[in-house]
C-alpha cells in the first residue's frame, strides 16, 4: 500500500512538472506572439537601394508601435508596402503631409509653412556625389508621405509609385541585428536648414553639405 502511494506521489509530481512546463511554454509563446505581431517585426534587406547606410541581407528590427502614438518624422527609415503592391520596401521619409516636394536639377526641395519659398533638403546620409534624378512636383495631403532610397540611382521609391499613404507603413527601423559588425541602433537624422532655430554649428554643417553637393 505504501509503495502504491509512493508511486502515485511520484506520478503526481511528474504531472505537476509537465503542467508547469506547458504553462511556461504557453506563456513564452504568448509573449512571442504579442511582440512579433504588435510590437516588433523583423526585416531582411533585399537589394542595395539604401546603400551606403543599409546593406543587402542585413537583418533589421522594426518598431510597429511608435506610429500609433505619434506621426512619422522626416529622415526616419521605414518598412512599408507601396500602393497596389504586397511586397515590403525599406526607404527613408523625405516629405511630410501638407508639404510640397520638388525634384529639380538633382536636388530635393521642401516647401512648407516654415519654408514657403522652398529650401534644398540637406541630406548628410547620402554619398557626396549622390544626386536625386527626376523632375517632379508633388503636393502631399493628410496622411501622405514621400519616400526615397538613400541610393538614389538604384531605388524604386515615390518617384516611381507615387505618394505613400500612412496606412501602408508597417513600422520604423530602429535596430540592425546582423551582421554583428553593423549591430546597433539606427541613428536619428536632423535637418538643420529646416529647423526654426538652430545653432551656428548646425548651420555650418548644412552649409558645408550644400557646398559639397554642388
Please tell me which residue, 56 or 3, carries the higher pLDDT value.
56
Residue 17 has pLDDT above 80, yes or no: no
Count other Cβ atoms within 10 Å, centred on residue 90: 24
Question: What is the radius of gyration, based on Cα positions, of the chain?
Answer: 24
Does the pLDDT of residue 199 top 50, yes or no? Answer: no
pLDDT tens string 130-163: 889 989 999 999 999 999 999 999 999 999 999 9
Report phi then psi at 202, rounded to 5.
-65, -40
Task: Work out the pLDDT band at 13, boundaries 50, 70, 90.
Answer: confident
Confidence (pLDDT) at 2: 54
Please give the distance of CA 54 from its chain centroid, rounded to a whole number. Answer: 11
Helix residue ranges, H only, the chain = 2-34, 158-161, 200-213
Taking a C-beta distance cutoff of 8 angstroms, is the pair 44, 57 a contact? yes
- 49 classed as catalytic: yes
Angle of CA points 169, 173, 179, to nearest 5°:
140
Dihedral in degrees, nearest 10, Cα atoms 141, 143, 149, 152 = 0
Determine contact, residues 11/19, Cβ cutoff 8 Å. no
The active-site residue, picked from 64, 91, 155, 158, is 91
State how far the Cα of 47 lies from the Cα of 88, in Å rounded to an integer.
12
Q: What is the mean pLDDT of residues 169-178?
A: 94
pTM: 0.76
**Of these residues, 49, 64, 155, 158, which one is catalytic?**
49
Amino acid at each position: 500500500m505504501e509503495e502504491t502511494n509512493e508511486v502515485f506521489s511520484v506520478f503526481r509530481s511528474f504531472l505537476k512538472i509537465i503542467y508547469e512546463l506547458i504553462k511556461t511554454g504557453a506563456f513564452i509563446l504568448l509573449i512571442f506572439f504579442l511582440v512579433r505581431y504588435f510590437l516588433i517585426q523583423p526585416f531582411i534587406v533585399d537589394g542595395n537601394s539604401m546603400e551606403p547606410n543599409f546593406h543587402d541581407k542585413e537583418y533589421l528590427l522594426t518598431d510597429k508601435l511608435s506610429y500609433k502614438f505619434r506621426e512619422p518624422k522626416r529622415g526616419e527609415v521605414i518598412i512599408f508596402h507601396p500602393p497596389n503592391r504586397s511586397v515590403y520596401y525599406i526607404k527613408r521619409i523625405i516629405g511630410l503631409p501638407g508639404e510640397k516636394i520638388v525634384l529639380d536639377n538633382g536636388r530635393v526641395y521642401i516647401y512648407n509653412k516654415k519654408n514657403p519659398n522652398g529650401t534644398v533638403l540637406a541630406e548628410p546620409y547620402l554619398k557626396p556625389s549622390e544626386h536625386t534624378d527626376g523632375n517632379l512636383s508633388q503636393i502631399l495631403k493628410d496622411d501622405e508621405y514621400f519616400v526615397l532610397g538613400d541610393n538614389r540611382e538604384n531605388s524604386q521609391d515615390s518617384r516611381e509609385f507615387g505618394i505613400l499613404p500612412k496606412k501602408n507603413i508597417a513600422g520604423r527601423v530602429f535596430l540592425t541585428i546582423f551582421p554583428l559588425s553593423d549591430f546597433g541602433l539606427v541613428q536619428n537624422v536632423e535637418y538643420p536648414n529646416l529647423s526654426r532655430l538652430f545653432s551656428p554649428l548646425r548651420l555650418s554643417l548644412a552649409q558645408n553639405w550644400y557646398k559639397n553637393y554642388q
